[in-house]
Structure formats: structure tokens, C-alpha cells
Structure 1
Amino acid sequence: MSGPEALERLSAHLTGELGRSPHTVRGYLSDLRSLLTHLDEHGHDLDDLDVPVVRSWLSRARESGAGRSTIARRVAAVRALTRFLHREGVLAVDPGPRLAVPAQHRTLPTVLDEEQARSAFSGPEPETPVELRRGAVVELLYATGIRVAELCALDRSDLDRTRDTVRVLGKGDKERTVPVGGPALDAVDAWITGGRSALLGPRSGDALFLGARGGRLGVRQAREDVHAHLRAAGVDGAPHGLRHSAATHLLNGGADLRSVQEFLGHASPRSTQIYTHVSVDRLRSAYQQAHPRA
């Protein structure tokens, strides 16, 4: 099996059988084309793939300044390839499990404090369709903690007004149901009645949020909506910061980690635990400022 043929078949496998996102598949293929070039330069074929060969490729990336996240992604891409080649009989042994993934340096996410969150939603009443959409986008992101891409994929039918929930299709096509608070529902209603109708077009379908040309709102425009709304409210924040803020405020309010994990759609509790670090950091800061024996 040639290198290009292997990548073409791997792409179909990742997309069709494993349900990987187009973004993930594109990233893997980009990395693996670099690996194929490395193999060719050193006179190797696909069936020569082993740990030393892969390590030499990764070492070159480190020497070129690649960070830990880039190396970790490359290891994941190689593991996907070697697992596939082993399944196809090209490799007698899969070397992927013996490749070490560099430990990730996890920075604490930037979050709004409760006062900033209140400021973000206390501006003048929106009037134009775009203002109504911006307000609804920000309210819904903060109320539900969903990702921007998940928000853009919502249809009106995903809102359940009898239970005040929204159905979300997350990573890996995993569906979850998330509660929605009253202010966010009010903002969405205002958008639907006063803004969405003004932007309706042939391509609107049942999309909850629409762009200027009447099609489904794109991720880039949704991000711009968030930045514009927060700037107008005098708040420094970003779309994913609303997700971080929602999770942190839930934990600060007494929610347990497992519930927040389900709320965010995290496959592993390890992804959610970083928010406990934010809460502990705030607690430590408050303790040092307020406790007489700190």
C-alpha cells in the first residue's frame, strides 16, 4: 500500500467508521503527510514504521520549535495510522501504544467573575435584528456552557420549552440535553420574534440563528457577535470564556463535578477538573485577603 493510498483510506476510516470531525481528520492528514516525507527522505516504506523512526520524526519537529500540543497531536495522528495499518496487515505489530504522549501544560481558563457576568447582560435593550441575535447568542452560551459550533448547529426544534432544555449535538456526534435558564430563553424568544423573521431567506430552514444572508449562522460570525456584545458591555471576554465561566460559576454555586461534566459534554472527568482548580485558586486568593492568620 502506497503512502497516499494509506492516507486516503485512513481518511475514509476516520470519517466514516470512527466519526472523527473534519477538523480532526484534516489535522491528522497534514501531520501524516509530513511523516511520509520523512520516511521518503530516509529511504523507508510504510512497513518500516516503528518507534525509532517515529521518534526521529518527532525530534525534528521539536528542533523546529513545535510545542507540546503539536507533538501530542502528531503522536495521536501516528497512532491512528499505525492502528489502521496493523488492522490492514501492513504492519505486523502496532508500535503506536509505545509512543509516549508529552504531558500537557494546562493553563487555567479565563473566566468572568459574577459581577462581570452581570454587566455583560445589563446593557441597553437590543433593537436591531443583529443586536437581538448577539444578545441571544451570549445569553445562551453562558446559560448552557455549550460550544460555539454547537450553538450554530442548533435548530428551533432543539429547544424544548416544556422542560426548558436544549438538545445539543456535541463532539463525536454525542447528543446531550442541557437546561436553559429563563433570561436566556427570553433572549432567544426576543430574537425569534423580532430578529430572525427579518433575516429569513431560502436557506434558513429550521436553523435557530441566522446570518446576514439568511443562512445558518457561521462560527466566525457567532464569535464576532460575542466579542461585539461584550465590548459594548465593557467586559473583556471571549466565546469560550463564557463556557469556562458557566462551568466555574456552577461549581462555585455548589454543583458537583459529575453534573458539570455532563453539562459540558466532556467525555472524561479529567477535562472538567481544571474548573475545580479555578475555584480553588479563587478560594485561596479570598483566604489570603480575608483570613487574619493567612
Structure 2
Amino acid sequence: MPDTATTGAQDLAEARHAAVLLLDRIQEHLLDAFYAGRSENTVRAYRRDHEDFRAFVARQTGFESFGDSAERAVRLLLAIDHGPANALALGYRNDLTARRLQPATVNRRLAALRSVVKLGNTLGLVAWSLDVGNVEAAAYRDTRGPGRDGVKAMIAQAKGRSDAKGLRDTAIVRLLHDVALRRGEVVSLDLEHYDARRGALSILGKGRTQRERVTLPAPTRTALDAWVAARGSRAGPLFHRLDQAGAGEGRLTGEAVRQLVRGLGAEVGIATRPHGLRHTAITSVLDANGGNVRAAQRFSRHRRLETLQLYDDNRSDLGGQMAAQIAED
């Protein structure tokens, strides 16, 4: 009869050995482990940021081995001591600012680096974390967008076309404004994500790994139904290209949506972008509900309430109101 204690010890040893082998594989492909379980859009953004760090390391070291691998660049960072690692990260931050990148971009890329180091710390690869902080960002952002009249003019311009492009573009503009979708959320939609019977979309929000349900207002639903009728019932991307080279084929890209919105705006005398339509929608919601930022947060799906507070501050321009009260003629 097998000794219970001996069997238990063997099982424990085998479990430990399996855990070591698994950790070895994760350590060997650290970035793959870091990306796992994240949404496609989030992974794409992280890859761009890590690739930028790789290019910086290659320029600084002159090592050809870093020419094609962000993994190698991250491994170099984790292989050196705490002080030199922070010095390298500080040099990277200085390089980012020297290239005149926006503070938000600089801070996002630093955060992408800190997050990988945090994973390395969790896995026991390093016993430290990156201490290099963000650069100071301006508190003010233009959150106004083209305004409701501007959005209405763009919708009317798109509806003025009687072809499939007019139907498609009308539906896209309405989704960007009426339910404040981001362009990445729009282009990630497949036909199966639209529940026509209930008038709802299942969208993959920014930084999310699971889709969430968004109910469409009647005008938005009408516009989307008109596009789907022209599009047809075949499976695949909800919005696809309509140019001669790829008519009916290929998912519409985020860049294509940007150009679409910019073009419609130019046709009605407005300079705007897809996020500007979202800005207008959020500001309009705050106007309609008297500055209820929590209600606006449910509408916009922002994770941080502070972001909505920024919209509300810009909308009400409290600083301008106070200045007007104390100014003398």
C-alpha cells in the first residue's frame, strides 16, 4: 500500500516543478503574458508604446539585437539594477518630451513601461518598481466639439446622399454622437453585435475585455436599420469599405472613420474629428441634466468621475463667470 506522506510529497514536488516550468515560459515571453486577456484595441496601443521604447533603446545602445524585438528591450530594463533602470526610464521620458509629444502620449507610454515592470515584480523577476513619474499635463482640454447644430448639419449632409455611403456615414455619425461611441468601438462592431429586434448594440469599450449593451435611441436605430438593409445580412464587420477597390470587403478602419468625419465637417464648414462628436454628446447630456456628472458617466462609460468633472467645468466656465462678476467697465 503506497505511503500517503510519500505520495503527497511527490505530488507537491511535481506541482512545484510544473509551476516553475510555467513561470519559465511566462518569463521567456513576458510581453505576451502582459497582453493576454486584454482587448484587441488595448493590445494594439500597448504594442505601439513598447515598440517606441524598443526604438529608443536601440538608439541609445546601438545594439542590433534590439532592432526587431520589444521583448528584448524590456528584458534589458529588467536585467539591470533599480537605479540604472530608473535612469534609463528617465532618459526615455526626456526623449519623449524632446520629440514634442503631447503630455498625454508621454504619460501613456511611461505607464505602459511601468505596468510591464510591475508584472516583472509580481513574477519575481525584479524586486523593485519604476519610480519615474509622469510629466505635468495641462488641466484644460477642449471638450466642446462641433456643437449640436454642427452635428445636425453633418448628419443632414450625409443623408443628402441617396447611396449606400450616405446610409453608412449617417449611421456612423449618429453612433459617434447619439450614444457617444469612440471610433474604435464603432469599427470593432460586427453585424452579430446588433440586436435589431431590441435596438441595442454590444460594444467593446475602451480598456474592456467584455462587451456591454448599449440601447439605441429611435433616430439612431432608424439610421442603423437603413444601413443594415443596404449592407445585407452576411456575417462580418458591421461597417465596411465602399470604395471600388474594396466594395463590400474589409472592415472600416479607425483612420477611415476619422477621414469620413473630417470630410463631412469640412463640407459644412466645421473642423472636427470623431472624438469631437463624443465631446458634443457628453456636453449636451450635462446641459440637459443640469451638470449631473454621475448620470453623464453612465452615458459616456468613463471609468473616472474626474474626467466628467472636466467636461462640466469647461461647459459651465466657472472661471469666466467669476471673472465677469469682478471685472470693471
TM-score by length of 1: 0.78
Q: Secondary structure at 2:213's aligned position in 1?
A: strand
Task: Decide which moves more: 276-285 or 139-148.
Answer: 276-285
The residue that corresponds to 2:240 in the other structure is 210
Which letter maps to 1:101? N
Q: Which runs of 5+ in 1 are unaligned?
A: none
Q: How does 1:165-204 map to 2 (within 5 A)?
A: 165-172=200-207, 173-193=209-229, 195-197=230-232
* 21 and 63 in structure 1: CA distance in 2 versus 1, 3 angstrom threshold: closer
Q: What displacement does 1:160 show?
A: 3.3
Task: Decide which moves more: 243-252 or 221-230.
Answer: 221-230
Asked if 1:262 corresponds to 2:298, the answer is yes
Which of 19, 34, 38 pairs up with 1:14?
Answer: 34
Deviating beyond 6 angstroms after TM superposition, the runs of 4 or more aligned structure 1 residues are 5-8
Provide the C-alpha distance between the structure 2 equivalents of 1:39 and 1:49, rounded to a whole number of angstroms. Answer: 18
Q: Secondary structure at 1:223's aligned position in 2?
A: helix
Which of 134, 137, 146 pairs up with 1:112?
Answer: 146
Provide the C-alpha distance between the structure 2 equivalents of 1:210 and 1:64, rounded to a whole number of angstroms. Answer: 35
1:3-45 deviation digits (Å, cap 9, x = unpaired): xx9997232022115554222223123214524764789x998
Which letter maps to 1:277? D
Q: What displacement does 1:125 show?
A: 3.6
Q: What displacement does 1:164 show?
A: 3.3
Which letter maps to 1:192? V
Q: Report if aligned partners of 1:159, 1:166 keep a CA contact under 8 Å in 2.
A: yes
Which letter maps to 1:14? F
Q: How does 1:1-294 map to 2 (within 5 A)?
A: 9-19=29-39, 20-35=42-57, 38=60, 46-50=79-83, 51-63=86-98, 65=100, 67-91=102-126, 93-96=127-130, 98-105=131-138, 106-123=140-157, 125-172=160-207, 173-193=209-229, 195-197=230-232, 205-212=235-242, 213=246, 214-215=248-249, 216-254=251-289, 256-281=292-317, 284=320
Which letter maps to 1:89? G
1:264-292 deviation digits (Å, cap 9, x = unpaired): 2222222322211231129957x959xxx
TM-score by length of 2: 0.71
Provide the C-alpha distance between the structure 1 equivalents of 2:264 and 2:96, rounded to a whole number of angstroms. Answer: 40
* 210 and 18 in structure 1: CA distance in 2 versus 1, 3 angstrom threshold: closer
Q: What displacement does 1:210 show?
A: 2.1
* 189 and 102 in structure 1: CA distance in 2 versus 1, 3 angstrom threshold: same
Which letter maps to 1:186? T
Provide the C-alpha distance between the structure 2 equivalents of 1:70 and 1:283, rounded to a whole number of angstroms. Answer: 27
Which letter maps to 2:239? F
Q: What displacement does 1:52 show?
A: 4.0
Q: What displacement does 1:166 show?
A: 2.0
Q: What displacement does 1:53 show?
A: 4.4
Which letter maps to 1:12? D
Q: What displacement does 1:258 show?
A: 2.0
* 45 and 184 in structure 1: CA distance in 2 versus 1, 3 angstrom threshold: closer
1:161-196 deviation digits (Å, cap 9, x = unpaired): 454332211123242222322222111122222x31
* 227 and 150 in structure 1: CA distance in 2 versus 1, 3 angstrom threshold: same
Which letter maps to 1:268? R
Provide the C-alpha distance between the structure 1 equivalents of 2:219 and 2:271, rounded to a whole number of angstroms. Answer: 21
Provide the C-alpha distance between the structure 2 equivalents of 1:283 and 1:276, rounded to a whole number of angstroms. Answer: 12
The residue that corresponds to 2:20 in the other structure is none
Provide the C-alpha distance between the structure 2 equivalents of 1:112 and 1:236, rounded to a whole number of angstroms. Answer: 8
Provide the C-alpha distance between the structure 2 equivalents of 1:67 and 1:136, rounded to a whole number of angstroms. Answer: 32
Number of residue equivalences: 280
Identity over the aligned pairs, expressed in percent?
21
Coordinate RMSD, CA, aligned: 3.6
* 259 and 49 in structure 1: CA distance in 2 versus 1, 3 angstrom threshold: same
Q: Which runs of 5+ in 2 are unaligned?
A: 1-24, 64-75
Provide the C-alpha distance between the structure 2 equivalents of 1:65 and 1:283, rounded to a whole number of angstroms. Answer: 29
